[in-house]
């Protein structure tokens, strides 16, 4: 019985995931795109939970759906009408070619997953209760993956400085334009 | 395992990745292109978490968390670029931005 419930939740989350993903791409209002992406990230967090990724699911909601998407919404609001996006670019031929390219990637991946690797991936390894918990993730980050952890902090620092520099430079040029 | 096997997670991940690709190729607004990039990164994350479950190793989840941090950095720089473009009164259209074309 519990199994059926898990299946139902999984199917709902997967359907929500695909539907909101399509909405992100097809909506012409950037606000609905960004809000749909929040729904997409939240339903992905449900899938992470069902795959025993508790900490990743929590980080997904906190970092992505929280911080990153708020930044997106702030910029969309700041740009106002300028952020409004025409639906697609290029000729009809380019649009059709884009869809065909995406479908080709999908087909190749599906063939690889379902035909080639499907048998090997269908029986999961046994895991203990600590799998995916914050304690275990933290232990790995501070022992086996310490270099990745430190590099991540440097990348975030550089990105923050880069964001500040990008913001400052254009302001200085605006002032120069105003004086001339 | 309760619920679906891991290949189903990979199918969802592949579909999401294809949606992200079509978004990057179809849309002209840099904002929507960034949002579609996020979808692609998350599709990769879902595959990482699925593989991590199937092999019983947490390395995949560590990688997913690192991808998340890199995505945050990418959004920070990308949105900075978009705001800088808007301040210079450039059109927010990736097809129009041809200044660097050789």
Residue B48 predicted with pLDDT over 90: yes
Summarize pLDDT for A49-71 with one digit per residue, the tens.
998 889 999 999 998 888 889 99
How much is the ipTM here? 0.90
Find the mean pLDDT for residues B23-50: 91
CA distance A157 to A163: 10
In the stretch 123-152 of chain A, residues with CB closer than 8 A to chain B read 124-127, 131-132, 136-137, 140-141, 144-145, 148, 152
Find the mean pLDDT for residues B34-56: 92
Residues written for chain B: 102
- Segments of chain A scoring below 70 in pLDDT: 1-2, 85-90, 118, 169-180
pLDDT of amino acid B63: 94
pLDDT of amino acid A115: 80
The better pLDDT of the pair B9, A124 is held by B9
- Name, in order, each residue with C-beta under 8 angstroms of A41's C-beta and a sequence gap of 6 or more: A60, A61, A64, A65, A69, B38, B42
Tell me if A126 sits within 8 A of B44, measured CB to CB.
no
Q: Does A70 touch chain B (CB under 8 A)?
A: no
pLDDT of amino acid B96: 78
Tell me if A118 sits within 8 A of B7, measured CB to CB.
yes
The confidence band for B19, taking pLDDT boundaries of 50, 70 and 90, is very high
Q: Does B96 touch chain A (CB under 8 A)?
A: no
Tell me if B36 sits within 8 A of B20, measured CB to CB.
yes
CA distance B30 to A84: 11
CA distance B53 to A125: 7
Residue B22 predicted with pLDDT over 60: yes
pLDDT of amino acid B34: 92
Among partner residues A22, A121, A127, which is closest to B6 by beta-carbon distance? Answer: A121
Q: Both ends of chain B: CA-CA distance in Å?
A: 55
Residues in chain A within 8 Å Cβ distance of B92: 79, 82-83, 85
Among partner residues B19, B54, B82, which is closest to A25 by beta-carbon distance? Answer: B19
Summarize pLDDT for B55-70 with one digit per residue, the tens.
888 999 999 999 999 9
């Amino acid at each position: 019985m519990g199994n059926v419930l898990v299946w139902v939740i999984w199917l709902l989350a997967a359907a929500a995931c695909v539907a909101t993903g399509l909405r992100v791409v097809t909506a012409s209002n950037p606000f609905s795109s960004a809000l749909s992406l929040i729904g997409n990230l939240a339903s992905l967090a449900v899938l992470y939970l069902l795959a025993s990724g508790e900490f990743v699911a929590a980080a997904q909601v906190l970092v992505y759906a929280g911080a990153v998407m708020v930044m997106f919404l702030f910029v969309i609001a700041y740009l106002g009408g300028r952020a409004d996006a025409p639906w697609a670019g290029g000729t009809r031929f380019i649009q059709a070619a884009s869809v065909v390219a995406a479908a080709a990637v999908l087909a190749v991946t599906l063939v690889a997953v379902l035909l080639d690797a499907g048998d090997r991936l269908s029986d999961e390894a046994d895991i203990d209760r600590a799998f995916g918990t914050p304690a275990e993730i933290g232990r790995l980050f501070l022992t086996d993956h310490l270099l990745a952890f430190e590099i991540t902090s440097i990348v975030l620092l550089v990105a923050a400085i880069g964001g500040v520099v990008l913001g400052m430079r254009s302001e200085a040029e605006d002032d120069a334009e105003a004086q001339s | 395992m309760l619920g679906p096997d891991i290949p189903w997670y990979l199918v969802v991940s592949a579909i999401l990745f294809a949606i992200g690709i079509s978004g990057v190729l179809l849309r002209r607004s840099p904002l929507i292109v960034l949002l579609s990039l996020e979808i692609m990164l998350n599709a990769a994350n879902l595959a990482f978490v699925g593989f991590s479950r199937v092999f019983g190793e947490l390395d995949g989840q560590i990688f997913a968390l690192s991808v998340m941090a890199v995505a945050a950095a990418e959004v920070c720089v990308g949105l900075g670029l978009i705001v800088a473009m808007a301040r210079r009164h450039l059109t927010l259209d990736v097809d129009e931005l041809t200044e660097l074309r050789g």
